């Protein structure tokens, strides 16, 4: 179990999970007649965990030959022999099946759209082989979290969860560009594509900052629409959560310089994980307490 949790980097679920809960809370408040809170929360959590586990395990399965050549990644579970390729693929299929079953029990629309979610999240693993826009496909996969959770409650699309989906898309793309800085030379040597490999380290960092500036605009646009939609239901805590997210978003850019990548992991995981949790907690607590 420990090996499989490490294979899928289970702790990284923290990036999108708070936004999925935000989408769920938005759905509950936009559909006050809904009353099966506990069951739907459980089903959405199952969808989040299984889809992300399938996507990450498939990425490790598909990239195992590449990872074996990279000094930074050769110790991962499949290249090191801790988990076999067939075992990893079976794990992917198991999670996809559970995801489909959970979507079936949520509602007809979620079940109808579930193959698209699988196509996007698993398809990301192929993109680095032919396009430097792979970071945006990863962002799109995680952006499904708030939109999908809202659909689980309402069975309809709405602007606010879509805005939060766009927040996740550009936020993830921006910090994934930072993470990809570690493999610029390796990617160039082996014909893999990324924005740092395409634009160079300096320009990649600049683009990451531009994307995160766009995230700030989208966050405050969503906050404004929330104030119109819910009025006094949201207060100062929600604004504090949004502000903390923005501060931590830009703090990560002080950690990484084009000539010093030693703190990429701190910027990638710790800072973004804290930002997501702070925002999600403040949003949910403000709504209910």
Instruction: Tell me the pLDDT of the chain (289 aa) as tens digits.
Output: 777 666 667 666 788 899 999 999 999 988 887 778 889 999 999 999 999 999 999 999 999 999 999 998 898 888 888 889 999 999 999 999 999 999 999 999 999 999 999 999 999 999 999 999 999 999 999 999 999 999 999 999 999 999 999 999 999 999 999 999 999 999 999 999 999 999 999 999 999 999 999 999 999 999 999 988 887 667 889 989 999 999 999 999 988 887 777 888 777 778 898 999 999 999 999 887 7
Close Cβ partners of 44 (under 8 Å, ≥ 6 residues apart): 20, 24, 106, 148, 149, 152
Quick check: helix, strand or coil at residue 288? Answer: helix
Quick check: helix, strand or coil at residue 260? Answer: strand
The pTM score is 0.94
CATH number at residue 267: 1.10.357.140
CA pair distance 192, 127, nearest whole angstrom: 9
CA pair distance 28, 30, nearest whole angstrom: 6
Q: Which two tokens mark 105? A: 């029990």
CA pair distance 253, 196, nearest whole angstrom: 15
Structural domain total, the chain: 1
The residue segments making up the domain with residue 27 are 2-288
């Amino acid at each position: 179990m420990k090996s499989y949790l490490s294979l899928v980097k289970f702790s990284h679920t923290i990036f999108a999970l708070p936004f999925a809960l935000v989408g769920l809370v938005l759905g509950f408040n936009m559909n006050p007649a809904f009353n099966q809170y506990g069951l739907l929360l459980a089903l959405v959590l199952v969808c989040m965990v299984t889809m992300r586990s399938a996507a990450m395990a498939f990425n490790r399965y598909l990239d195992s030959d590449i990872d074996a050549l990279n000094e930074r990644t050769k110790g991962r579970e499949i290249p090191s022999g801790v988990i076999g390729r067939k075992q990893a693929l079976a794990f992917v299929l198991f999670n996809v099946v559970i995801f489909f079953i959970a979507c079936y029990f949520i509602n007809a629309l979620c079940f109808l759209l579930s193959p698209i979610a699988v196509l996007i999240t698993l398809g990301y693993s192929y993109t680095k082989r032919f396009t430097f826009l792979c970071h945006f496909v990863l962002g799109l996969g995680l952006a499904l979290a708030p939109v999908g959770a809202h659909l689980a409650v309402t069975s309809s699309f709405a602007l606010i969860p879509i805005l939060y989906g766009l927040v996740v898309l550009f936020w993830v793309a921006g910090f994934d560009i930072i993470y990809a800085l570690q493999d610029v030379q390796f990617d160039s040597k082996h014909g893999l594509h990324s924005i740092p490999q395409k634009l160079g380290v300096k320009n990649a960092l600049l683009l990451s900052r531009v994307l995160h500036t766009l995230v700030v605009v989208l966050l405050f646009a969503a906050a404004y629409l929330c104030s119109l939609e819910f009025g006094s239901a949201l207060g100062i805590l929600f604004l504090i959560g949004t502000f903390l997210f923005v501060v931590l978003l830009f703090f990560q850019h002080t950690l990484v310089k084009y000539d010093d990548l030693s703190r990429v992991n701190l910027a990638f995981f710790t800072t973004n994980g804290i930002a997501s949790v702070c925002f999600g907690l403040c949003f949910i607590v403000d709504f209910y307490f």
